[in-house]
Amino acid sequence: LGSLITFVVFMAFALAGDRRGALQLALASTGAAGLTLLLKGIIGRERPEEVTHLVDVFGYSYPSGHALASAALYLTIALAAGRHLPSLLARFTFLALAGFIVVLIGLSRMYLGVHYPSDVLSGMSLGGAWAFLLHAGFFLFARLLPREASGQ
């Protein structure tokens, strides 16, 4: 589902002429996947065995890839789309909704018994940090370029 949402929103940004938003989303998604693979490979934490897994999973537990990817994806969408919203309240509401979705996804990973709470919290934190870091970088880069060259 995350890949489908990424593709649909990427296309929406591209068709709306927001090349910066499309690139920001592509980098957020790619970076989240890379961070997940790198950290799972380095840390190698086994999945919880104390509870029954409600779904079949493979690979290591830390960090939660679903939590990391959802935080990076939904927060990036909210931040990039927020540039097009008319008010600060609308931007805040959109960002809060994205955060709520991320929390629900994180809770679902614990409910399914496939992650420790620390796996999920770390994944959400890393994905959120990646989304905000990218957003800050794109914001600063856009400030340095003339309006015509910034992709807007």
Tell me which residues are annotated as active site: 66, 115
Q: Which of 99, 129, 114, 132 is nearest to 40 (CA)?
A: 114
Give the burial class of 54: count Cβ atoms within 10 A of its Cβ; 0-12 exposed, 13-18 middle, 19 or more buried: exposed
Cα(first)–Cα(last) distance of the chain, in Å?
Answer: 28
Q: How far is CA 6 from the centre of its chain?
A: 10
Token look-up 């190698």 returns 44
Check residue 110 and give left, alpha or beta (phi > 0: left; psi -120 to 50: alpha): alpha
How far, in Å, CA of 97 to CA of 82, rounded? 12
